[in-house]
Structures are given as C-alpha cells and as structure tokens.
Chain A
Amino acid sequence: MTEAASHLPASRLGGSDIRTISKVDVGLKRRYAAERRFRAFGLAAVTIAICFLAVLFGSIIGRGYTAFQQTRITMMVDFDAGIIAPDGDRTSAAVMSGDSFRFDDLIAASLQRTLELDPNDEDGLYDGLDLLSKGSAPLLRTMIAKDPSLIGTKRTVDFYATGDVDAFVKGSIRADIPESQRLIKDKHIALIDRLEKEKALHLAFNTGLFTNGASTRPEMAGVGVALVGSLYMMLVVLALSLPLGVAGSIYLEEFAPKNRWTDVIEVNINNLAAVPSIVYGLLGLAVFINFAHLPRSASLVGGLVLTLTTLPTIIIATRAALKAVPPSIREAGLGVGASKMQTVFHHVLPLAMPGVLTGTIIGLAHALGETAPLLMIGMKAFIVDYPTTPFDPATALPTQIYMWATEPERAFSERTSAAIIVLLVFLLAMNSIAIVLRRAFERRW
C-alpha cells in the first residue's frame, strides 16, 4: 500500500505531500527489511516447534524399535524323567516344589548337545550358560508344571538370550571396542557365532514385551501387567467420569439458575482443570488410601484419582457441545409439549453426543498418560502376576515406563523406549478416533 502511494504522479500532489512521501521513502527499505525479519522469526518459531516434535519422536523410535525383536536360542531339550521326577511323582505340585537346579541340569545337557561340547569342558559349558537368560530354568519349570505329560519326551524350546547378548546381536554392543570395556567377551562372541551357524540363535518378534510382568532381568520384563492395569483404570475412569461429567454439565448448562452458586461451580471447574496433577495424587493418597483404607497400588484407586483429574476436561467439552446445539431445537421440543427433561434427553443430548464423546476420548487419552498421581498412590510396585480384579495391585503403562527409565541397564533403556512407543500408539489411536468422530458427525448449524 505504501508502495502504491509513493508512485502517484507528482503533478497531482501538493508540496507538503511530496515532502511526506520522500520522508516515507527514506525509511521504506529499513521497514521492509524489518517486515521480512519479523516474518522469518515467525516461520522459524513454527519450524523450531515442529523440529522439536520430530527430534522427540525420532529419538524415542530410534532407541526403541529394536526392542520389538528379541534374540532367542532354540535348543532341543530332553525332558529326562530321571532328572525332573527322580521319585516318580509327575504331578504339577511335585514339579513346582523341590530343587530347581535339576532344570539347570536339563538346560546344560541340551546346550552341550547343541554346541557339541566335550562333556568334560566345564568352562565352555559355563560360557555357554552365560548367554542364556537366568530366567530359563524357572521358565522350563512352569512349562513342565503346566503340562506334566512333557516329562520323558524331547521338544525344541525357545530360550531367551540375556539382555547383553541381545544387545550384541542387534549391534548396539559393538565388537570393535576393547574387550575389557565390552560386556560381551571374545569367548562369548565365538559361541554366538557357533549358535548362529547351527541356526539355534535367531531374532524373533518379542511377544514377551506385551505379555510378561515385571522382572529384574530385562529380557524377561514386559508391560503385560501394566497394560492390564491401565485397561482397568480406563474402564473405571470411563464408567465414572462419563456419567458424572455428562450429568453435571447438563445440569449446569440446561437447568441451573444463573446465580452466585453456579458461578462458583463454573470458576471452580476452570481452576480444577489447571491444578497440577500431583496434587490430585496427594488427594488420592490422603482420602482413598489413608482415610478410606482402599488397597494401595490397586487400579481401582488409580481409576478414582484419574476420574477426578479428567472430570473437568469432560465437563468443559460437554458444556461446549451442549452450547453448540441451537436454541431452536429446545424451543421446538418444548413447543410440541415435551417436558424440559424430555427435550434435553431426547433431542439436545443426542445432537451433542459426538462432541461429548470426542471430549471424553481426549480426556481418557490424557488420563492414560498421567504418571505423577499414580506414583503417589503407590502404583509403582514390582508386580509379576496379572491382576484379576481392579482391587488387586497393578502397575500402569506410564509408571512402568518411569520404573524402567530409572534402571541403569542398556536393555531396559531400549524397553523403556518400546513401552513409550506402545503408549504413544494407544494415544495416537484414541486421538484419531476422536478426530474421525468429529469429522463424521460434526454439524454446522
């Protein structure tokens, strides 16, 4: 615009106008440069923010994708009845009780066979056993206890390799660094090569990551218990916060008289949405655990606390959705003789439902990633067994990530990233559903 003004024919302007224009012209170059700079700053800010996002995702995925595969060692195991059940008692109880070293003997025997070791070569045997997870013997024991008819037969069994072997096979422990600084020694590398040649050692999809519970051995640790715990919590949150949130917002939006009291509730809800989540954790600890004596670490308590944290989000979203339904709908309903309640439940609420569900799903997604309040109520325990009801102790996906993040071992770091990827996939799925819902049912009045 300024440019256009400066090119007007001089003959049509008076002397003072010409002076003004030349004054403007002097600064014009500088002002355009400032304009370009300002615009570049804006673009740079957007780019930097998006780059942060890319770096964040890149670093997590780069660290974690390898954890979805795991090194296994497949060996033929001779379930020798003389070793497993020396006294002839083949029941599950007999297998589970007594000396567990006999299962180590089974593993040692099959390792000797697979590697074709000299039976007197004890060092070679111990080096070989170093490659196998220390959880192999218990694994074998539960396998036999589950199916005692295996005793006396021969089967191939997939054993887990240790976390270090796994890291070596995947290339994150490199062979070219000096042996003294390497977690995998030269003798182990030789054995790994031999096992690979025998086709005994291979990479397979890591199902244990999704099914196992907590373990001190990274190769045996998984997010199974955490997934179930998170699922229970989400069910509790959904069952409580959706009805409470919808009922509360319908009252506030459609029935409540506009007075001091509803103003207080309104301000209060907005403030609750911004209260730090750790404060909700303190509330849960003081009220649900210390006062009401609900069990610690239970997913029920976690669900209750998360319900309180998500309720403001759901109420705010529901009220926005109800507000978006035009008053003509209500007037039409009342006009044909419906009661106020009937109008709301038969007409307004169904029309607002897509917005309500979108808000609920986004609230649930927030709840799924919430960590701090769960730490307060003790959902960071070492839990191996699946919880059967929401009253049993459990962990949650984010708290499991927290526990693994503080473990020093490399293999746990890889698993932490993998668990984060799992969490992010869930969040992505939930948010996509919310977006699809909004696109499909959104109505412009």
Chain B
Amino acid sequence: MGPLWLLALIAGLSFFGFVLGHWKSVVLSGKARGALAARPGYYGAYVLIWTAIPALLILVALSVGRPFLIEHTVRVNLPAQVLTNAQQLSLEVSGVEQVAAGLKLVTPEELEDIRIGVVAARSVFARHGLPLGEDVKPYQLMAAGTLNLVSDGLDTAIDAAVVAALAFGLIFAFVRVKPRLRARNLVENTILALMIAASSVAILTTVGIVLSLLFQALQFFSMVSPANFYLGTVWDPRFAAAGSTESGQFGFLPLFWGTLYISFFAMLVAVPIGLYSAIYMAEYAGSKVRSTAKPLIEILAGIPTIVYGFFALTTVGPLIRDYVALPLGLGTSGNNVLTAGLVMGIMIIPYVSSLSDDIITAVPRSLRDGSLALGATRSETTRLVILPAALPGVVGAVLLAMSRAIGETMIVVLAAGVAARASLNPFEEMTTITVKIVNQLTGDLEFTSPQTLVAFALGLTLFVITLGLNVLALTIVRKYREQYE
C-alpha cells in the first residue's frame, strides 16, 4: 500500500472509532445520561485519538527512516573497492537504485536469463524503456536484488505496523470506554499537547535553518578558510567537475558590494517615495483618497517578485540601456545595477509607506494640535514635530525594507547579471549574494564539493545580516510603540 492509501485507511478507521466510542458511551449510560463523566462526543474523540495518533506517528517515523535503511543496505552490499570516497559512493548508490528499478520491470524468464548470463541486463532494461549509461556490473546486480528485497520487505513491514497500531489503538480505547472514564479531560489534554507541538514548529523551523546552514557552511569552511572567503576580492568558483581537486576562489566581497550597491539604489527610490506618500496619506489626504490610494500602493507588495524581475528584464533594462547608458557611453548591458535597484525600489515602496503611515498616525494628536495652535503650518508641524517624534519608528521601517532588499532574489537573478565585480559604475553588470546562491545550486549537486557548499555559507551570511537588521528594526519599532501607548 502506498502512503496515501495508508492515510486514507487511518482516516476511515478513526472515523469508525469515533462512531464506536460515541455509540458505546450512549448504550452504557442507557437512559441515565447523567451517569457519564463527559458528553458522548468526547468518548468518540477519545477512541479516535487512540486510533489515529499512534498509527500516524509510526507511519511518519518509518517513512522517514526508510531511505536510511535502504541506503545502508546498498552500502553493505557493495564491494570494498568502490567505497573509496564519498563522491564515488553516491554515484554507486544511484547506479544500484537504477538497476533495481530495472529489475522490477523485467519478466521472470528474462530475469533467469540475466542471472545465468545469457543476455546483458542493460539490453533487457533498454527494451523495457530504461536506458542505462553503462553495462551492469555483477555486484550491482547483486546489490540491486537485495535492495528490491529489502525495500519490498520494508513496505510490507510499514503496512503491517500501521495496521497493527490501528487495530490495537481502536480495541484498547474501545474497551476502556466506561461511564466513569473522564474522557473530556483526556481529550482536552491531548489537544493541548498537539497545540503546543504546533506552536513549536516555528522554533523548529528556526533551529532547522540555523543547523542546516551551519552544518553545510562549516563543511565549506573546512575546505576554504573563512578569512579567504570573507576577505577575498575575487569570485571565481570554477565548475564542480567530479573528482577534480581544483577549487577556485570564493571571494565574498564583490558579492557583498553588489548587494549593498543595488540595495542603495532601491532605498534611493523607495525611501523618498514611500515616506512622502506616507506623510501625504496620514496628514493631508481625505478619507476617500486614502481608501483608494492606500490599497493601490499595497498591491505593489502583493505582486510576486518574479513579475518584477520580468518587468526589469524586458522593459526597464532595455530602456535604461538604450536611453541612458549607451548615449553616456557608460555601459552596454541591459542587466545592470541601476535597473535592478530601480525595480526593487518600486517593490519596496509599500514596505516603507505602510509601516511609516502606521507610525505617523500613532503620534499623539496632542503634539499635532499643540504645534498647529502655535501657528505652525501643516508642513512645519510634520517636519519639525511629527517626524522627529516618529523618527525611531521610521528608521525601523527603513531597516525592515533594507533587509527585504538584501534578501530579494528573483529581481536580481533576472536583472542584475552574474558578473561578480566591484565597481562604482551603476550601468555595469554586478551580482549579489542571492544570485550566487541560485547559480551555485542549479544543475547537478554534489554535497561534497565547495562549489555547492559555498551556497550554504552565503545563505548563512545572508541569514545573519537580515536577522540582525530585523531584530534591530523590530526592537526600535517596539520601543517606539511603548513610548506612546
């Protein structure tokens, strides 16, 4: 049975368990409903929980463990000479898996022919629509046979374990349903435990991000020293050819410069426009203008970034190249820092404007009234009283927008280019941390080569930078809110 069938079985039996529990409690209590310690539905839920949860736990645990067991079997069955290094091993494992898939396709007679060596396994597999890159070696055939046996056995074992858990849970809980059983407390405690588990998923995600990035990044730093990475000025990773020892240069600085330079242009667009529109919305606009313009601007934040990327690639990039860069003789590429920065700036406008708007509106009315009563104009009030009062919050909003800009991926992937260079000319191609993460992780992945692992080191750096900005921004905003509450 596949996992989907097992899930369906669990769902069906759990429902059945609910009905049984409900029915038994009603029958046992007879006419005297008051004798029950909880309402009948709770007895149903009690049986349901006992049926579903153990079975689900077993299913998840075994499904997660399955690939490890299978890989272990393959490894045990391979001869020692192919187990020389980790790269070779992963190739061998996938080779055996292919042969195993092929063995499932052939008929018993063909299998017999292959075994006694009358025909080559490769040609038989090809006839069944599975072309292999090279001839099948005898030890691969052996390992694949064992693999199939083990994986079939494992599947049967998972099925059996789940069915046993279902049956045990259902019967156990059904037997325990008695009028004096305090079903409601038991059910509520289970639900509470499940809710606690759900709320800790957020923590688990953070831990997962940190651990997975750290683990792979440390592997990278064991090959390339952190000093060479963070202080290097040349980015030239070369290609990850299998078995090559040449590793190239991984200089972080040009990527960091590109990221900062593009973000700088983005902020140059977003901060004035966002801040001025926030001020206009909060201080000048009537409720009608506000209720149409505000959602319109916020649409900008809801558009997927791939759309901005395409817009930059096809519309803004060529425009800047043909009308600005070429006449000035500063650049010839449609992919440039200015394009990426400009379009990213448009995307970030609502992040600046919405939060600033909230913050400006939160400045107490009394400050505004006091200033106006002294004879200041609205703009003077805004510039000299409200903005200074709102400044920490506005700085927080700008920092949050900055962290968005640094972590933005799709716009720069499509519009900024791939050349890692540090220059001041905004009409040149430059590249960012996120672009290089994407570049290094497309194509065949070798989790042992620095060319792949560098992406995790870049990711870790990016995570730390954006986290720092976010924590700073959120602390500032929070402090500010407390000041006026």
**Contact A256/B302 with A1-B372, A276-B409, A339-B184 known, Cβ cut-off 8 Å:** no
The reply on A231 being an interface residue by CB < 8 A is no
The reply on A90 being an interface residue by CB < 8 A is no
Stretch at the interface among B21-29, B107-115, B140-148, B200-208: B200-208
- Which chain A residues in 383-400 approach chain B with CB under 8 Å? 389, 398
The reply on A52 being an interface residue by CB < 8 A is yes
Selected from A31, A44, A371, A427, the residue in CB contact (under 8 A) with B276 is A44
* A370 to B303 CA separation, bound complex (whole angstroms): 10
Give the nearest-CB partner of B185 in chain A: A339
Task: State whether A265 touches B202 (Cβ < 8 A).
Answer: yes
Task: State whether A1 touches B373 (Cβ < 8 A).
Answer: yes
How does the 8 Å CB contact mask read for A217-251 relative to B, with 1 for contact and 0 for none? 00000000000000000000000000111011111
Task: State whether B437 touches A278 (Cβ < 8 A).
Answer: yes
Stretch at the interface among B150-158, B222-230, B376-384, B423-431: B376-384
* A63 to B314 CA separation, bound complex (whole angstroms): 10
**Contact A39/B353 with A250-B195, A371-B410 known, Cβ cut-off 8 Å:** no
Task: State whether A277 touches B470 (Cβ < 8 A).
Answer: no
Selected from B201, B215, B276, B409, the residue in CB contact (under 8 A) with A45 is B276
The reply on B171 being an interface residue by CB < 8 A is no
The reply on B311 being an interface residue by CB < 8 A is yes
Task: State whether B310 touches A405 (Cβ < 8 A).
Answer: yes
Task: State whether B377 touches A372 (Cβ < 8 A).
Answer: no
The reply on A312 being an interface residue by CB < 8 A is yes
Task: State whether B375 touches A2 (Cβ < 8 A).
Answer: yes
The reply on A175 being an interface residue by CB < 8 A is no
Residues of B within 8 A of A245 (CB): 198
Kindly provide the distance from the CB of B44 to the nearest chain A CB, expressed in whole angstroms: 15
Kindly provide the distance from the CB of A334 to the nearest chain B CB, expressed in whole angstroms: 14
Stretch at the interface among B48-56, B162-170, B291-299, B325-333: B291-299
The reply on A298 being an interface residue by CB < 8 A is no
Give the nearest-CB partner of B202 in chain A: A269
The reply on B281 being an interface residue by CB < 8 A is yes
Task: State whether B199 touches A274 (Cβ < 8 A).
Answer: no
**Contact A375/B438 with A2-B375, A34-B379, A45-B272 known, Cβ cut-off 8 Å:** yes
- Which chain B residues in 64-95 approach chain A with CB under 8 Å? 64, 67-68, 71
Stretch at the interface among B10-18, B118-126, B242-250, B461-469: B461-469
Selected from A5, A250, A270, A311, the residue in CB contact (under 8 A) with B201 is A311
Task: State whether A45 touches B64 (Cβ < 8 A).
Answer: no
How does the 8 Å CB contact mask read for A271-286 relative to B, with 1 for contact and 0 for none? 1101111111011011
- Which chain A residues in 283-335 approach chain B with CB under 8 Å? 283, 285-287, 290-293, 308, 311-312, 315
Task: State whether A283 touches B349 (Cβ < 8 A).
Answer: no
Residues of B within 8 A of A5 (CB): 375
Task: State whether B199 touches A256 (Cβ < 8 A).
Answer: yes
Kindly provide the distance from the CB of B316 to the nearest chain A CB, expressed in whole angstroms: 9
The reply on A56 being an interface residue by CB < 8 A is yes
The reply on A431 being an interface residue by CB < 8 A is yes
Kindly provide the distance from the CB of B374 to the nearest chain A CB, expressed in whole angstroms: 9
Interface residues on B, range: 35 or more
Selected from B202, B314, B413, the residue in CB contact (under 8 A) with A413 is B314
Kindly provide the distance from the CB of A295 to the nearest chain B CB, expressed in whole angstroms: 10
Give the nearest-CB partner of B304 in chain A: A369
Give the nearest-CB partner of B282 in chain A: A42
Task: State whether B462 touches A276 (Cβ < 8 A).
Answer: yes
Task: State whether B205 touches A283 (Cβ < 8 A).
Answer: yes
Q: Is the interface of A mostly helix, strand, loop or mixed?
A: helix
Task: State whether A248 touches B302 (Cβ < 8 A).
Answer: no
Stretch at the interface among B130-138, B172-180, B186-194, B231-239: B186-194
* A402 to B313 CA separation, bound complex (whole angstroms): 11
* A445 to B407 CA separation, bound complex (whole angstroms): 40
Task: State whether A315 touches B202 (Cβ < 8 A).
Answer: yes
The reply on A8 being an interface residue by CB < 8 A is no
Selected from B192, B209, B281, B315, the residue in CB contact (under 8 A) with A283 is B209
- Kindly name the residue among A45, A283, A290, A405 whose own CB sees the greatest number of chain B CB atoms within 10 A: A45
* A60 to B307 CA separation, bound complex (whole angstroms): 9
Task: State whether B297 touches A50 (Cβ < 8 A).
Answer: yes
**Contact A247/B198 with A1-B375, A372-B409 known, Cβ cut-off 8 Å:** yes
Selected from B302, B310, B463, the residue in CB contact (under 8 A) with A279 is B463
The reply on A18 being an interface residue by CB < 8 A is no
The reply on A81 being an interface residue by CB < 8 A is no
* A63 to B459 CA separation, bound complex (whole angstroms): 35
Kindly provide the distance from the CB of B172 to the nearest chain A CB, expressed in whole angstroms: 24
Selected from A52, A264, A279, the residue in CB contact (under 8 A) with B462 is A279
Kindly provide the distance from the CB of B398 to the nearest chain A CB, expressed in whole angstroms: 14
Selected from A41, A59, A341, A369, the residue in CB contact (under 8 A) with B311 is A59
Stretch at the interface among A111-119, A134-142, A159-167, A416-424: A416-424
Task: State whether A46 touches B442 (Cβ < 8 A).
Answer: no
Residues of B within 8 A of A287 (CB): 208, 212
The reply on B392 being an interface residue by CB < 8 A is no
How does the 8 Å CB contact mask read for A253-276 relative to B, with 1 for contact and 0 for none? 001100000001101111110111
Query: How many pairs of residues, A versus B, come closer than 8 Å at their CB atoms?
Result: 265
Task: State whether A424 touches B307 (Cβ < 8 A).
Answer: yes
Residues of A within 8 A of B296 (CB): 49-50, 53
**Contact A402/B410 with A31-B377, A341-B192 known, Cβ cut-off 8 Å:** yes
Task: State whether B304 touches A427 (Cβ < 8 A).
Answer: yes
* A34 to B380 CA separation, bound complex (whole angstroms): 9
Residues of B within 8 A of A437 (CB): none
Residues of B within 8 A of A48 (CB): 273
**Contact A56/B303 with A5-B375, A271-B470, A375-B442 known, Cβ cut-off 8 Å:** yes
The reply on B451 being an interface residue by CB < 8 A is no
Task: State whether A427 touches B302 (Cβ < 8 A).
Answer: yes
The reply on B284 being an interface residue by CB < 8 A is yes
Residues of A within 8 A of B202 (CB): 248, 265, 268-269, 272, 311-312, 315
Give the nearest-CB partner of B216 in chain A: A286
Residues of A within 8 A of B447 (CB): 290
Kindly provide the distance from the CB of A260 to the nearest chain B CB, expressed in whole angstroms: 13
Task: State whether B277 touches A45 (Cβ < 8 A).
Answer: yes
* A50 to B413 CA separation, bound complex (whole angstroms): 25
Task: State whether A251 touches B209 (Cβ < 8 A).
Answer: no
The reply on A72 being an interface residue by CB < 8 A is no
Residues of B within 8 A of A249 (CB): 199
The reply on B251 being an interface residue by CB < 8 A is no
* A363 to B433 CA separation, bound complex (whole angstroms): 26
**Contact A50/B293 with A271-B471, A275-B467, A371-B409 known, Cβ cut-off 8 Å:** yes
Residues of B within 8 A of A292 (CB): 64, 67
**Contact A420/B307 with A275-B467, A279-B213, A372-B438 known, Cβ cut-off 8 Å:** yes
The reply on A365 being an interface residue by CB < 8 A is yes
**Contact A278/B407 with A290-B447, A341-B192, A431-B302 known, Cβ cut-off 8 Å:** yes
* A235 to B283 CA separation, bound complex (whole angstroms): 43
Residues of A within 8 A of B456 (CB): 282, 286
Kindly provide the distance from the CB of B60 to the nearest chain A CB, expressed in whole angstroms: 11
* A37 to B310 CA separation, bound complex (whole angstroms): 36
Task: State whether B284 touches A282 (Cβ < 8 A).
Answer: no
Task: State whether A265 touches B203 (Cβ < 8 A).
Answer: yes
Task: State whether A341 touches B213 (Cβ < 8 A).
Answer: no
Task: State whether B277 touches A243 (Cβ < 8 A).
Answer: no
Kindly provide the distance from the CB of B177 to the nearest chain A CB, expressed in whole angstroms: 20
Residues of B within 8 A of A398 (CB): 304, 306
* A341 to B311 CA separation, bound complex (whole angstroms): 50
10 shortest interchain CB distances as A-B pairs: A276-B407, A369-B304, A42-B280, A45-B276, A38-B379, A286-B212, A293-B67, A248-B199, A247-B198, A251-B195
Q: Sample 11 A-B pairs with CB under 8 A, ordered by A number.
A: A1-B372, A42-B280, A49-B296, A52-B346, A247-B194, A247-B195, A279-B466, A282-B213, A293-B68, A371-B304, A420-B307
16 additional A-B pairs beyond A34-B379, A372-B413, beta carbons within 8 Å, are A1-B373, A24-B375, A34-B377, A34-B380, A46-B281, A46-B293, A49-B273, A59-B315, A245-B198, A247-B194, A251-B199, A270-B474, A274-B400, A292-B64, A371-B305, A405-B313
